[in-house]
């Protein structure tokens, strides 16, 4: 394995900040939390749409620093390791501040952070019950969507839980493969709402709706061969340099961005949880389902009528049952259907994914997971191997915040 210069700089900076924060904590008694997640994996085969490669990996491991800056502000900084072709890449996943004392149920967050769309997206991947995010997440959200931007949240003063919010992001991770349009500097806007309540003392539920407006999400079908002026060539060269960031090299390629884009994405999610008398320690059941649909995919002057009705869409349902403090098992099934641009037309591709996992929890801070996956796809989503096995261990060191609902 080798580090790029920028990756090594970020890694060293992270360690330095952690050491400084720990020194500050010891000397001044400040509320600074330092945590690390070790995420080790072995995957027996290549998987379609997966960022994880065959073999051993520590991709997804992270180092985080968080704490209350003062009575009004909270801050967090998180770096994550990714592995590709034997190289280790370090990426800043979170670097934000958030208000803690705005009136009337409002809060404001700025910097780089996970978007609050959907159910899984605003949660770190190491908290998932499966080794991978669902296929629809990997296709349309780049596994999990985080970006530089601003968020305004509102918690309504109602008897049931009712939260809503809007976000504005830079949008580089949602840029389409399109050389003909100069991207907008603020490219993504989101809106979402989540409502939930208890059912007696043992059950609870949550329903969410999300919308993403991607100003840079249209992919051009036509690829003109004529010579362009010098300025356009510069834009095209810049677009190709950023292609790895956009995530369109191929369906099996490495990317931290959405592989398939559209101007509008609509989502709905539902969660049901059960635990005897609300005690999750010994036994609990979680049922989850999400659906996403992306529309307005292509810009095609000569073929617009043919592509107006095309969409990317996908869904999954999962059931995870923890039947003792140390053991849990889960089933998940999902599908994603996408349209791949080929010159002046689009071809449909589909991926179906079934997964079963068994996890042993040595404690709340450590999990060993064995997962079996079966994939069935068409076109570029056809997997190299239909069946794969993943062995995963996740260990949390240091401060460990409570998981979200």
Residue 303: the pLDDT is 60
* 49-63, 77-91, 259-273, 318-332, range with the lowest pLDDT: 77-91
Residue 105: the pLDDT is 94
Query: Are 82 and 51 contacting, i.e. CB atoms less than 8 angstroms apart?
Result: yes
- CATH topology for 98-388 is Porin (2.40.160)
Core vs surface per residue 336-348: b (16+ CB within 10 A) or e: bbbbbbeeeebee
* 131-145, 219-233, 310-324, 332-346, range with the lowest pLDDT: 219-233
The pair of structure tokens assigned to 36 is: 């690390």
Q: How far apart, in whole angstroms, are the C-alpha atoms of residue 34 and residue 26?
A: 12
The predicted-structure confidence for 151-187, as pLDDT tens digits, reads as follows 999 999 999 999 999 999 999 888 887 656 678 889 9
Q: How far apart, in whole angstroms, are the C-alpha atoms of residue 186 and residue 170?
A: 4
Percentage of the chain lying above the pLDDT 70 cut? 79
The predicted-structure confidence for 64-81, as pLDDT tens digits, reads as follows 999 999 999 999 999 998
Query: Are 59 and 50 contacting, i.e. CB atoms less than 8 angstroms apart?
Result: no
Residue 15 has pLDDT above 70, yes or no: no
Residue 367 has pLDDT above 90, yes or no: yes
Rounded average pLDDT over 15-26? 47
Provide the mean pLDDT of the chain.
84
Residue 182: the pLDDT is 75
Query: Are 147 and 98 contacting, i.e. CB atoms less than 8 angstroms apart?
Result: no
Residue 246: the pLDDT is 42
Q: Which residues contact 371 (CB under 8 A, 6 or more apart)?
A: 130, 131, 355, 356, 357, 358, 389, 390, 391, 392
Token look-up 């997964």 returns 355
Query: CA 337: distance to chain centroid?
Result: 18
Percentage of the chain lying above the pLDDT 90 cut? 62
Of 74, 76, 44, 37, nearest in space to 59 by CA: 37
pLDDT band at residue 236, thresholds of 50, 70 and 90?
very low
Helix (H) or strand (E) segment spanning residue 238: helix 230-241
Residue 146 has pLDDT above 80, yes or no: yes
The pair of structure tokens assigned to 161 is: 């839980």
* Burial tier of 119 (Cβ tally within 10 Å: 0-12, 13-18, 19+): buried
Please give the radius of gyration of the chain, using alpha carbons only, rounded to the nearest integer: 22
Of 100, 159, 153, nearest in space to 122 by CA: 153
The predicted-structure confidence for 91-118, as pLDDT tens digits, reads as follows 999 999 999 999 999 999 999 999 999 9
* 123-127, 180-184, 273-277, 328-332, range with the lowest pLDDT: 180-184
The pair of structure tokens assigned to 136 is: 């629809």
Of 176, 11, 169, nearest in space to 82 by CA: 11
């Amino acid at each position: 394995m080798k580090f790029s210069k920028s990756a090594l700089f970020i890694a060293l900076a992270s360690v330095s900040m952690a050491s400084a924060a720990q020194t500050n904590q010891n000397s001044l008694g400040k509320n600074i939390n330092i945590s690390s997640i070790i995420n080790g994996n072995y995957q027996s085969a290549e998987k379609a749409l997966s960022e994880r490669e065959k073999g051993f990996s520590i991709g997804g491991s992270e180092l985080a620093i968080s704490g209350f800056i003062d009575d009004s502000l909270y801050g967090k900084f998180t770096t994550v390791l990714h592995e590709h072709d034997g190289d280790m890449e370090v990426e800043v996943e979170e670097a934000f501040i958030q208000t803690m004392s705005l009136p009337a149920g409002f809060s404001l967050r700025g910097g780089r952070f996970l978007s609050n769309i959907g159910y899984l997206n605003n949660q770190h991947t190491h908290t998932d019950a499966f080794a991978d995010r669902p296929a629809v997440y990997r296709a349309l959200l780049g596994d999990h969507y985080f970006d530089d931007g601003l968020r305004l949240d509102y918690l309504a003063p109602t008897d049931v839980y009712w939260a809503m919010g809007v976000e504005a992001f830079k949008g580089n991770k949602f840029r389409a493969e399109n050389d003909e349009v100069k991207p907008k500097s603020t490219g993504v806007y989101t809106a979402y709402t989540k409502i939930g309540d208890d059912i007696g003392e043992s059950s609870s539920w949550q329903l969410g709706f999300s919308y993403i407006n991607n100003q840079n999400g249209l992919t051009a079908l036509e690829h003109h061969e004529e010579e362009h002026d010098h300025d356009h060539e510069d834009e095209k060269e810049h677009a190709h340099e950023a292609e790895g960031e956009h995530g369109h090299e191929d369906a099996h390629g490495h990317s931290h961005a959405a592989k398939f884009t559209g101007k509008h994405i609509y989502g709905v999610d539902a969660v049901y949880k059960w635990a005897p008398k609300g005690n999750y320690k010994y036994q609990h059941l979680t049922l989850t389902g999400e659906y996403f649909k992306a529309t307005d995919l292509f810009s095609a002057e000569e073929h617009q009528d043919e592509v107006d009705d095309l969409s990317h869409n996908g869904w999954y349902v999962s059931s995870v049952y923890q039947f003792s403090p140390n053991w849990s098992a889960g089933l998940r099934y999902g599908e994603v259907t996408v349209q791949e641009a080929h010159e002046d037309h689009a071809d449909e591709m589909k991926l179906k994914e079934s997964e079963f996992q068994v996890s042993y929890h040595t404690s709340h801070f450590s999990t060993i997971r064995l997962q079996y996956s079966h994939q069935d796809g068409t076109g570029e989503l056809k997997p190299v191997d239909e069946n794969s096995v993943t062995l995963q261990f996740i260990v949390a060191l240091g401060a460990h915040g409570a998981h979200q609902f």
